[in-house]
Amino acid sequence: MTPANTFKFERVGYRYGRDEWIFRDIDFVVDAGESIVLLGANGSGKSTLLKIMCGLTFASAGRLLAFGQEITEEHLENDSAAKEYHRRVGFLFQNSDAQLFTTSVKDEIAFGPLQMGMKKDEVRARVDDVIEMFGLSNLADRSPYRLSGGEKKKVALASVLVLNPEVIILDEPTNGLDPKTQRWLTELILKLNDQGRTIVVATHNLDLAHAIADRALILSEDHRVVFDGPTRDALSNREQLIDVNLIDEYFHIHEGKHHIHQYRHN
């Protein structure tokens, strides 16, 4: 394994209960600074795979290496190892309601840095910066559950980015967002990637996949990786997309070069 590898999946399998395998023998590598999109229909196992990457749940078979270190339950039982890993790898949950658990937006954003043992003054400064960056000033003292879907997503993302992670993993980030907020999010992801962060996004939003990722992995409905290569090729292979039930035969994919430009040069 070269140091440039951020994640390395080696024959990873996952099951619920005794022998209900969700997937088996997953092999792929994520390099540092890459931007990868994980495509797959509902129930194909995207969320599960991402949670394994984040060290929130653990492979039932095979192993996952991250930053050259095998990530196991035992390894993360050590508090400082766990804190370090979770600081480096940020995760935006599919369900913002689960992610927001404190009673004010400010507390929510401060939660991570405080757990990491950052000094309180520094935490305050960072929180203020992030609130400013996300334009959340007028919501800072509100309860997170009184926000709209888009605002919740922003707060959740703010609470991840405040830790300044090297790797940012996002689970269906554009779900339920209006087009403007989707666009804002897309640009943010591009920017973070430009700054050298590794990005992994699970989605079935082909627009988003197109805009942000050079490389795509496709998970089939029977939970296998059926494609690993350039996003452009993934999106132009209609048969395959139909095969994994992401689109049907009436779906049109237009040529997307202009579109990429639109995002890249903003």
Partner 1 sequence: MVGPSIEPGNSITLPGWMNQPTDEKEHRLQANSDRGKGSGFLNRNLRELRQVMLDDLLTERYARRDYWLQQLDPRLKLLAIIVLILLVALTRSITVFFVMWVCSLLLMSSARLPIWSLQKRIWGIFPLITLIAAIPAMFSLFNPGAPLLELYHSMAPHYWLGIRLPEQIYISRQGSIAALVIFLRVGLSITWGMLLVITTPSAHLFKSLRVLRVPLLVVMILEMTYRYLVLLIQVSHEMFEARKMRTVGKLSLRARQWQVTSSIGALFIRSMQLSEEVYQAMTARGYTGEAVSLDE
Residues near ligand ADP (CB under 6 A) are: 16, 22, 40, 42-48
Span 158-187, contacts to partner 1 by CB under 8 A: 159-160, 163
Strand 20-31: give its sheet, edge to edge.
Answer: 20-31, 5-16, 61-66, 69-70
d(CA 131, CA 76): 30
Binds partner 1 by CB under 8 A, chosen from 26, 36, 49, 110: 110
Closer Cβ to partner 1, 90 or 173, answer by number:
90
Burial of 172: CB neighbours in 10 Å, binned 0-12, 13-18, 19+: buried
Contact (Cβ atoms closer than 8 angstroms) between residue 244 and residue 220 = yes
Contacting residues for 168 by C-beta, under 8 A, at least 6 apart: 90, 92, 160, 161, 189, 192, 197, 198, 199, 200
Taking CB under 5 A as the rule, does residue 203 contact Mg ion?
Answer: no
Contacting residues for 125 by C-beta, under 8 A, at least 6 apart: none
**What, of Mg ion, partner 1, ligand ADP, none, does residue 48 touch, CB below 5 to 8 Å by kind?**
ligand ADP
Closer Cβ to Mg ion, 44 or 123, answer by number:
44
Binding range to partner 1, per CB under 8 A, among 2-10, 15-23, 140-148, 195-203: 140-148
Closer Cβ to Mg ion, 96 or 105, answer by number:
96
Of residues 67, 56, 60, 57, the one with CA closest to residue 29 = 67
Taking CB under 5 A as the rule, does residue 47 contact Mg ion?
Answer: yes
Residues at the interface with partner 1 (CB under 8 A): 51, 54, 56-57, 79, 82-83, 86-87, 90-91, 93, 95, 97-99, 101-104, 106-107, 110-112, 114-117, 120, 123-124, 141, 143, 145-146, 159-160, 163, 206-207, 210, 235, 247-248, 250-254, 256, 258-259
